[in-house]
Amino acid sequence: MRIALAQLNYHIGNFELNTRKIIDSIILAKQKKVDLVVFSELSICGYPPRDFLEFKDFIQRCTDSIDSIAQYCDGIAAIVGGPSVNAKKEGKDLFNSAYFLADKGIKKIIHKTLLPTYDVFDEYRYFEPNTHFECIEYLGERIALTICEDLWNINDNPLYVVCPMDQLILQQPTLMVNIAASPFDYRHIEERKKALRDNAEKYKIPLFYVNHVGAQTELIFDGGSVAFNHKAEVVNEMKYFTEDFNVIDTEDFDAPVLDFGFSTVELIHDALVLGIQQYFSKQGFKKAILGLSGGIDSAIVLALAIKALGKENVSSILLPSKYSSEGSVTHALQMLQNTQSPNDTIAIEDIVNTIEHTLQKQFENTTPNVAEENIQARARGMVLMALSNKFGSILLNTTNKSEAAVGYGTLYGDMCGGIAVLGDVYKTQVYELAKYINRNEEIIPAAIINKAPSAELRANQKDSDTLPDYAILDKVLFEYIENRKGPHEIIAMGFEAALVHRILKMVNTNEYKRHQTPPILRVSPKAFGSGRRLPIVATYLN
């Protein structure tokens, strides 16, 4: 059998686009004499549709689109992901389904059994789990068709009490097909391939896997669709972070290919570039602006945005105050010279003076503190948002994960924006990104990379005045956020007790800030946002 894997970039709710992409791929598959073309999970509507699934009109459009696609399935079969209606009164109203289309009709609908409800996933909110297992007979093959999570219950700590393939293998399938919407994080590629390989090894039949590619707000999908032979060898691995279309012949299935190899920093870089590009293109945005401070975070964001959108579409605004060092301004200008990108300079001292004069009576007889510092940050935010409103440019937030974790930022100041580019990248990783960006030529000036980080909201200020050294801070944050370890466990790893308690207290008391920040591009196993849900009003570790 000739099987085509269609790794496409879908747009949530854009039924015309999604349907056209699928039909075009079916036509291409016909030209290549393909027997079966496979598309990814919920491909008809995009993933994750979330509460759009509660609208009957949305479901009807899914159904209409699938009917349209079926008309092109003559002389070829297709597997397309989409929601389907649960005919039973009991249970949820919908299934997460895979439609098997052939002879211009729907021949079989297979439902997803294992519905993830953890991290960024919330599928049991909408879907009823499958309880009936059935293979698909087609051209002499018996296909065990599963959907994403259905193949993930194969580790030493299973999340579910049933394993769909254990049920399907009893029907003696000759191959497995898994359609997925598996979001990216920098660990996930190897974890995903291991889970898939483990299935091929356990059941000793070929496995074809198709994943989404592209980004949907904060979720990035890296593609990497793959096929394994019955020996659990990779015989076809598709591109990462871009659309792809491959044809595999099951008669020529004994030629393993080399796996793609990526460094962590390369994966993060490529994911962030794709995330920016997709956020803008799918929203219909063209132009971006950011505040360029002369520090490493804004320099990284500028470099990534230029890569994603083109230098002519990214404008940097320098917003110096009386506390801005001469070096920061010089370094920012050097970065702009290196990138040859649009820029402007707007001094904020007059704005700050006006606000302080306005508050003179209320602030009388008080000692200057963080309130005065934040006036500067909010003046910058006000200017940047005014430019965004006036010219339709989307403001790129430059806060990194270390800062977001401990609340080292100003609400409605440097924490504002349309999308947070580095909100899931620790400060130590930011430096690694800088080196990667400079791997072929100096884009980010060495002076920016080498100098001590500072918010420059008071004289001679350094981040280290307020925060522990980032090399230590990030390790503690990683153990708490990504690994979910408590204070006693972290202290037992050799970290100072007082420091650990201080850091964890900062994280938890600043939850309210993170609830008010822009969407954060997710690149780690545990990002701030929909995948990390903590109460604001709580006393745990506060």
CA distance linking residue 297 with residue 145, whole number of Å: 45
pLDDT in tens, 42-63: 999 999 999 999 999 999 999 9
Query: What is the phi/psi pair of residue 382, to 5°?
Result: -65, -45
Q: Are 175 and 141 in contact (CB under 8 A)?
A: yes
pLDDT for residue 458? 65
pLDDT in tens, 311-341: 999 999 999 988 878 888 999 999 999 999 9
pTM: 0.95
The SS3 call for residue 29 is: helix
Strands 244-249 and 219-222 come out as: unpaired
CA distance linking residue 404 with residue 305, whole number of Å: 20
| CATH T-level assignment (fold) for domain 2-262 | Nitrilase/N-carbamoyl-D-aminoacid amidohydrolase (3.60.110)
Which H helix or E strand runs over 252?
none
Q: Are 38 and 245 in contact (CB under 8 A)?
A: no
pLDDT for residue 258? 65
Catalogue the active-site residues: 41, 112, 148
pLDDT for residue 331? 95
Half-sphere exposure at residue 407, Cβ-oriented, CA atoms within 13 angstroms: 15
- DSSP class of residue 247 equals E
Give the chain's residues under pLDDT 70: 254-256, 258-260, 455-456, 458
User: Listing from the earlier edge strand, what are the strands of the sheet with 105-111?
Assistant: 105-111, 94-102, 77-85, 36-38, 2-7, 244-249
Q: Which two structure tokens, joined as six digits, stand for 359? A: 């508050």
Cα diameter, the chain: 87
Task: Provide the Cα torsion 199, 202, 206, 210; round to 10°.
Answer: 0
Query: What is the phi/psi pair of residue 106, to 5°?
Result: -90, 115
Q: Which two structure tokens, joined as six digits, stand for 363? A: 């602030």
CA distance linking residue 400 with residue 297, whole number of Å: 7
Cis bond leading into 256, ω under 30°? no
pLDDT for residue 119? 96
Q: Are 443 and 303 in contact (CB under 8 A)?
A: yes
Strands 213-216 and 207-210 come out as: unpaired
In total, the chain counts a number of residues equal to 542
Distances (CA, A) of 196 to 185, 206, 453: 17, 10, 43
One-letter identity of residue 154: I
Q: How many CB atoms lie within 10 A of CB 97?
A: 27
| CATH T-level assignment (fold) for domain 284-462 | Rossmann fold (3.40.50)
Q: How many CB atoms lie within 10 A of CB 28?
A: 15
SS (H, E, C) 212-236: CEEEECCEEEEECCEEECCCCCEEE
Domain boundaries, the chain: 2-262, 284-462
Beta bridge partners of 94: 85, 127
Half-sphere exposure at residue 445, Cβ-oriented, CA atoms within 13 angstroms: 19
Distances (CA, A) of 516 to 152, 410, 416, 524, 537: 34, 11, 9, 20, 15
Match 């620790």 to its residue by tokens. 426
- DSSP class of residue 313 equals G
pLDDT for residue 356? 95
Distances (CA, A) of 40 to 148, 209, 253, 484: 9, 8, 22, 31
CA distance linking residue 88 with residue 132, whole number of Å: 14
Q: Are 305 and 395 in contact (CB under 8 A)?
A: no
